[in-house]
Chains A and B, each alone.
Chain A
Amino acid sequence: MSKVAVVGGGIFRGDRFRYENAEEGVAIAFRDLLDDTPELDPQDIDFVMMSYFSDHLNQQLCMGWIIQDYIGLHRKPGYRVESGGSTPLDAIINAYYLIKSGYYDLILVPGWEWMSEVDTATTNEFIASASDTDWDFTVGGYYNGYYACLETRHMQLYGETIEDLGRIAVKNHNNATHNPYSQWRSEHGTGYVTLEDYYNDRIVAWPYRRMNCALISEGACCLLLASEKVAKKYSDTPMWFEGVGLGTDSMRPGDRLADWAYYGMYPEDEKIYPSTVKKPKTPYPDMANFGSLREGAVTAYKEANIQNPAKEIDLAEIFAPYDGVELTLYEDLKFCKRGEGKTMIREGIVERTGELPCQVSGGLTSFAHPVGATSLMQSLFLYWQLAGKIPEKFGDSTLQISDAEKALTTGHGGTGCQGGVIVYSR
């Protein structure tokens, strides 16, 4: 079976409001890809794998048809992938499967989301309709609330502090100030924030402050995937897929106490459980960890032949809509043992100067989060990283991780209902 690589990308940067519409934004991202990939003739593209999350946000079904038509690829086979926040990662993985299996050699993955056509409260409500509307949405929660509940449980079990969540927020926002495509920098400039700024930030859903939560964005990104046969034609610095994995978990987080699909699957993690708290029937994941991401990681590491992810992976772009998700995923991605996520941030391991930098781009809370484009943006950032192109692309070398060879990215939908992992190498 063919090896598969990312051989190029283009971006229409995310911001709170973008007044070009979605098809124009995707076209601009596609042009950016074409400018960067002189050998690419649009006629070479075999398939268009489209990524966007919501039909509600724009009063438009089948927007994929508009996009494919607008960029002149409407003769080609193509379809849309949708799985909540996991949408863009799953689109990449779908394209990977099609190339790996030998069906196609060159696939364009365009992703986008226009999230500001309705007011913020309505945007939150539309997104919350990805939670169970009979059982979760009706009680005044929405994703801030659900995720805050999950983080509270993890905190009670494993003892991370508000300061730990603050350090993650400060790390990610300050990284984003060096990213000239980041929404945080567009809105707030290049000044650094401190823990003091974090403490002064308003609590929205304890334990989360505003700075801990993903942005609402409009933006687009295109990624080009190629088989080994044609990869070198388009890029001198292909980023190879080493392994991919997908996983799922219960729709409702409240059911993860008797989460029988996971029972006995991770006995070591089931044992790491404080005696002070009543143990549910399925102690892993409980409402604390993300089983779907563990499943994805185990599959991806097996394919990539990774034994010790913390040592072998050089940087990670995690799909973390909330900072507690980032901390918890250090554990589920096996960067450390369950319960030790807090030490990853306390010891500076995940800082951009540390051994395993996470969210060097700024991530979902600071880079931008136009849902259908998010993982494409994170993967494009890794493509630039592994090629050593950050100084050239950003006009600032601060974020370049030197000599990075292996990188990881994740996808994350719902409350961890769906997850996925990709390991890339240069």
Chain B
Amino acid sequence: MADEKIKIVKDESTSIYKEWETWARKGNFRVEGYQFIKGPCGPGKIEDAKMGEFMLVNRPHGALYTHSYGLVSKFFKGLIEKTLYGTRCPVCGTTYCPPRMHCWNPTCKVAETEWVELPLKGEVHTFSVMLFSADAFLEMLPFVLAYVQIEGSDTTVPMQVITAPTEVFVGQKVEIKFRDKRMGELMDMYAVPIKGQKVPEDSCLNNPEYLKDMERDLQGTYAYLEKRFGMKKEDIEKRWKR
């Protein structure tokens, strides 16, 4: 017989199911529209193409996934509570952030790890300046995507660094902050550079030509954001001009 106390206990903190129902119905598999199109087709090389007539149909697809964070749920709950956790292997001592509940060092034979609280400090291990992104993230543009090594951790966590895109560098010391609205996902936290650091001479982005091109294409991104979302350059720059 199973222990009476070992059973499912759900909290009812979200109303997303009700809200989602209308979306889900809209996202059901069915034909919503059609078009006729003429275009190149057929076998062979580019110059062998002939014109063909085709019919296209539009079919939506929507779904709500209810996904468990599993044994590392504590990490995401920690984000909501503005606390940063990692895990440490009691055998080899590796500290993981992102946490893993089992050590992946082959010599540790999948040892269970232990939770440790980590300081809200880290260092940029590597970065990219994103001037374009997937649809879900367009309004965040432009942003610095970085893999940050949290102090005391041996691995890196991806996050956005809120800084002028031309001022990020490998080795930059950052502070970890939490957003006001938190959903228990990595976006709940971000990094800001600790004040008073200079971009090193040998930073791979520290080249006048590179920075000039970056500046040019930043203007392109601003223009796109203004056209598409009515966003203003001055407001966007306020994100890092504090």
| Residues of A in contact with B (beta carbons under 8 Å apart) | 12-13, 15, 17-20, 28, 31-32, 59, 119, 121-122, 124-125, 128, 134-136, 138-142, 144-145, 148-150, 152-153, 155-156, 159, 162, 180-182, 185-186, 199, 202-208, 252-255, 257-258, 260-261, 276-278, 280-281, 287, 395
Complex contact A12–B43 (CB within 8 A): yes
B84 interfacial contact with A, CB 8 Å = no
Which B residues between 88 and 147 are near A, CB-CB below 8 angstroms? 92, 94, 96, 98, 104-107, 123, 125-138, 140, 143, 145-147
The segment from B6-14, B15-23, B197-205, B234-242 that touches chain A is B197-205
Q: How many residues of B contact A (CB 8 A)?
A: 71
Q: Known A-B contacts: A142-B133, A159-B204. Give 15 more (CB < 8 A).
A: A18-B41, A19-B37, A19-B39, A32-B44, A135-B98, A140-B187, A141-B128, A145-B145, A149-B147, A153-B125, A155-B204, A203-B217, A205-B130, A206-B131, A254-B98
A-B CB pair tally, cutoff 8 Å: 191
Q: A311 to chain B: closest CB distance in Å? A: 31
By a CB distance below 8 angstroms, the chain B residues around A181 are 45-46
* CB closest residue in chain B, given A12: B43
**Choice from B47, B105, B170 contacting A153 with Cβ under 8 Å:** B170
Distance in angstroms between the alpha carbons of A105 and B126 in the assembled complex: 48
Minimal beta-carbon separation of A278 from chain B (angstroms): 7
B226 at the interface (CB under 8 A from A): no
Given contacts A149-B126, A206-B128, A254-B155, contact A138 B185 (CB under 8 A): yes
Distance of A239 from chain B, by nearest CB (Å): 22
The reply to whether A148 and B128 contact each other, CB–CB distance below 8 Å, is yes
Interchain CB contact under 8 A, A276 and B137: no
Q: Given A145-B128, A203-B131, A261-B104, decide whether A281 and B94 contact each other with a Cβ distance below 8 A.
A: yes
Determine whether the beta carbon of A206 is less than 8 Å from that of B171: no
Instruction: State in angstroms the CA–CA spacing of A354 and B149 once bound together.
Output: 41
Within the assembled complex, what's the spacing in Å between the Cα atoms of A197 and B92?
51
CA of A257 to CA of B149, assembled, Å:
9
Query: Contacts of B213 on A, CB cut-off 8 Å?
Result: 162, 199, 203
Complex CA–CA separation, A295 to B159 (angstroms): 30
**B146 proximity list for chain A (CB < 8 A):** 149
Give the chain A neighbours of B61 by CB distance below 8 A.
59
